[in-house]
A = this chain, B = another copy of it.
Amino acid sequence: MSDHEQQPLPPTSRLSGDALPPVEQHAQQYETVRNAHETELIEDYVELIGDLLRHRGEARAADIASRMAVSQATVSKMIRRLNELGLVTSRPYRSLFLTEEGHKMAETSRARHDIVLHFLRALGVRDTTARIDAEGMEHHVSDETLAIMQRFTEKHQP
């Protein structure tokens, strides 16, 4: 080590933040996030299709494209995937429908989404912001946290 190069500082040079978690636990944090990201988009599609069916009576690819701010080609490709996964049934130029499994996923997702949204509002977050945050947060909230959020909302917003 003869060169006068940039050297790591001693570990005591700063004392903010928590300690590093043990490697296995730390690894699990990131793994869980990666897993969530694998299903996230699927869930959002299925949830949106469910919402469109409920509120509009039908779910067309074009609506999904504009509501997601994505090209119709992107939606078309995704619908094929949802089909292969057995979550939707689709026939060209007809409304999409959810399979039994798709319907279950839509309900679960919507329930979770609502809990997070209502929680944020109960916390005091403005509606528009709450909606944006909830859209991303919903996929990363454990059942444990979800339950706590629900209780909080009930207590603070009768």
Contacts and interface: CB of A to CB of B under 8 A. Distances in A.
Contacts of A30: 44, 67-70, 135
A71 interface: no
Interface in A108-158: 110, 114, 117, 120, 123-126, 128-133, 135-137, 139-142, 144-145, 148-149, 152
Contacts of A66: 23, 27
Nearest to A51: B20
Contacts of A142: 125, 129, 132-133
A139 B137 CA distance: 8
A133 B51 CA distance: 26
Interface string A3-43: 00110111101101111110101111111110011000000
B123 A13 contact: no
Nearest to A69: B27
B29 A131 contact: yes
A76 interface: no
A78 interface: no
A52 B20 CA distance: 8
Given A6-B97, A114-B17, A140-B140, A131 B25 contact: yes
A52 to B, nearest CB: 8
A136 B139 contact: yes
Given A123-B152, A125-B148, A137-B137, 13 more contacts: A5-B94, A9-B53, A18-B114, A18-B117, A27-B67, A30-B44, A30-B69, A32-B132, A32-B136, A129-B142, A133-B145, A136-B139, A137-B141
